[in-house]
A = this chain, B = another copy of it.
């Protein structure tokens, strides 16, 4: 049996650490820059074949520093052997914790929270002169020192601990590796059973695993050759609701991921319906900025009764790395990225759904492109509220000053971006669209009329409202 914990949440660097689980264990580490497909060479991956447990990490930098030495998982040797740690999130009290660790006489070789967490695990309480240290007690101790935000994988020898912070700010799901012989397409060769953990449940299907459940806020789950076992749930302070990041629904997660029992695609479609109720439009067709806004656009079309059409097609060969040899091409901007499907909207009034507007510099040229190609009106409907505040919990959002929602031009946002009109989904509408599905309310009923939210349901809306789930230390 093999069991893996995969943490797939980024594209700037990738790392894998496997253990063969023996005494003493042999660890194998691979790290590289870029997407997994470029970070690792096939011959490197062969080195991993003898491990039967492991943790991986792909990084989407939250600080802008993209260096191999910040690449996770972080592995350190302790008195009781090596531990490897992968971390998703950002510790709100990292600065204070760094001071504490350094005051103890520890030098920190990176600026990453992962190293900080690893040294905190090694440091407190003092390392015992015993054969088997109590890692669970150490993890619990860590959780009392920092409230959020972290989803962690901690590997030691033959065990992996999957940990989610008490507020459940970052996601973490458990999947079960299905024997290939039971899968649709397999012959059974190279068959494997086991457990996997990931921040996005959609990754399970890619490796032939099935979604099992989420790690609960504050929960420590042990994964070993004996299977999975819930060891403990560290509580939040009395009265605090959970604070799962609402932007995972809006923007980050793949549409086929499942959080809190609901598919992200369906939530986005519900946001589109809610948007149609909050911001109806007198227009001829509804369309999408492909591909992320498509579920919301279809939802808007269903609720409004307007026909759904495609107005843009992606130019697949213009990627981020495309060469821009001269001023002319640089100025063409978005016209290089999208082709206009003129027949579908020339002479028509278009409602264009976008998922979010962060800086405002991509939607503006799209509007000009559509108008130039014959759209008579372009109404922008955004399936999320304006982002007004920075995130200190792991999401790389521009500074307060850079956010278009905080700029003077926001007062006349339609004029600024050249749209006929612009409307956003309300915060209440978003929360309702998200939380409505958790209790499976009928999709058509007016979501915002729901009255009492149980304490057990709660989301972090800090970037929209400025209300952070815990008080921030500076």
Interface of A with B (CB < 8 Å)?
11, 31, 35-38, 40, 42, 45-46, 48-49, 68-69, 74-79, 83, 98-99, 102-109, 111, 115, 118-119, 121-124, 126-127, 129, 180, 183-187, 189-192, 202, 205-208, 254-256, 263, 265-266, 291, 294-295, 298, 308-310, 313-315, 317-319, 321-323, 325-329, 331-336, 339-344, 365, 368-369, 371-372
Contacts and interface: CB of A to CB of B under 8 A. Distances in A.
Query: Across chains A and B, which 5 residue pairs bring their CB atoms closest together, nearest first?
Result: A76-B107, A190-B327, A256-B339, A184-B368, A107-B122
A43 B325 CA distance: 9
Given A83-B107, A208-B335, A291-B313, 9 more contacts: A49-B325, A77-B108, A79-B103, A102-B127, A185-B331, A254-B313, A256-B313, A263-B343, A298-B308
Contacts of A76: 107-109
Contacts of A180: 328, 331-332
A335 B106 contact: no
B11 A317 contact: yes
Contacts of A49: 325-326
Q: How many copies does the complex hold?
A: 4
Given A102-B77, A108-B76, A206 B336 contact: yes
8 contacts: A78-B102, A183-B335, A186-B331, A191-B328, A192-B328, A207-B329, A263-B343, A266-B344
Contacts of A35: 317
Among A46, A77, A111, chain B packs the most CB atoms within 10 A around the CB of: A77
B107 A327 contact: no
Contact of A265 (B183, B325, B341): B341
A37 B317 contact: yes
Given A298-B309, A328-B192, A340 B205 contact: yes
B342 A263 contact: yes
Contact of A266 (B123, B266, B335, B343): B343
